Amino acid sequence: MQGPNVRSIRALIALAAPRRVPVHYVSSGGVFFMHGVPTPCPTSCPYFPPDDGSNGYLSTKWATKRILENAAKQISIPVTIHRLMPVAPKIRSRDQEKALTELCEIAKKLHVTMRSSNIHGHMDLMKADELASNIITTIYDCSAGHTIIFPGCTICYSQHVPVPYVHHPSSVRLATEDLASIWDQSLGEENGAKIITGPEWIGLAKQAGFSYIVAYAGLSDRERYRWGSPYISSMKPIYALILALAFQPKPLISHRI
């Protein structure tokens, strides 16, 4: 776990504290899968992350979440924690096809491929612009209790800390066979395409403008890599979209700034 990832949250709390400025934090549902399947509406994670350095990214998410919960409880800073969760029970096949088509086009454009026989598992995706819009909706109009605030999303409260947890479920799940079809359709190694690793491939897809964000990654490369969250769940595109949407003309609703 890197210090700057946690110190930045402490700095934001220091800035927010004097005037109780609301803080919205984008976390990860992955903290629940360190110890099995979560409850239907999980709030504060009761388990400690691994202390052997095996997943520094999720450890950082866990630590910053605890810092924010303490800030809300001890100095009354309004905190909302957003979580990217695995796919909902009903998968929207149309979005699944769109995501696969987009990834295939990117692979062809970049002239890269992977050995699909090495990959197993799945990953869950959601549209980046939809996530950004939903976060903005929460900022302007956050309801109380176990309330559906927009399609598929829920907001839950803990009995122990005054923090709402907004869960954003994924809309697309890509399994091993889905991902294999991408490289089967793209230019293969025999046509001069560059063979790259899973994390490299996702990184290049993001740079090429992939319109989905990976909410949960359960993929492994049998040869070398596990496609962990540090490689995939970059939130920079989401922050940019949130800023763009936030500065559109819209009336503020009872926010103390």
How many other C-beta atoms are found inside a 10 Å radius of the C-beta of residue 230? 14
Q: What's the pLDDT score for residue 255?
A: 34
Contact criterion met (CB below 8 Å) for 29 and 84? yes
The rounded distance, in Å, linking the Cα atoms of 181 and 115 is 11
- Cα 66 to Cα 51, 135, 257: the distances in Å are 16, 20, 24
What is residue 190's DSSP assignment? G
| DSSP bridge partners of 216 | 124
Domains in the chain: boundaries = 4-240
User: In 123-250, which residue ranges form alpha helices assigned H by DSSP?
Assistant: 128-140, 176-185, 198-207, 229-232, 236-246
Contact criterion met (CB below 8 Å) for 30 and 58? yes
Q: Which helix (H) or strand (E) holds 252?
A: none
Burial label for 176, CB within 10 Å (0-12, 13-18, 19+), is middle
Contact criterion met (CB below 8 Å) for 164 and 157? yes
Contact criterion met (CB below 8 Å) for 129 and 213? no
Q: What is the pLDDT along the chain (257 residues), one digit of tens a residue?
A: 457 678 888 999 999 999 998 898 888 666 555 555 455 555 666 666 666 666 667 777 788 888 999 999 999 999 998 888 877 665 556 788 899 889 888 888 888 877 766 677 888 888 888 888 888 888 776 544 445 567 777 888 877 888 888 888 888 888 888 887 776 665 555 567 788 777 788 888 888 888 998 887 777 766 555 555 433 344 554 555 545 455 454 433 333 32
- Which stretches of 32-190 are assigned E, i.e. beta strand? 79-87, 112-113, 119-127, 147-150, 153-157, 164-170, 172-175
| DSSP bridge partners of 85 | 169
Q: What's the pLDDT score for residue 30?
A: 61
Does the pTM surpass 0.85? The reply is: no
Contact criterion met (CB below 8 Å) for 192 and 90? no
Q: What's the pLDDT score for residue 114?
A: 76
Query: What single-letter amino acid sits at 60?
Result: T
Side-chain half-sphere of 192: how many Cα atoms within 13 Å?
A: 2
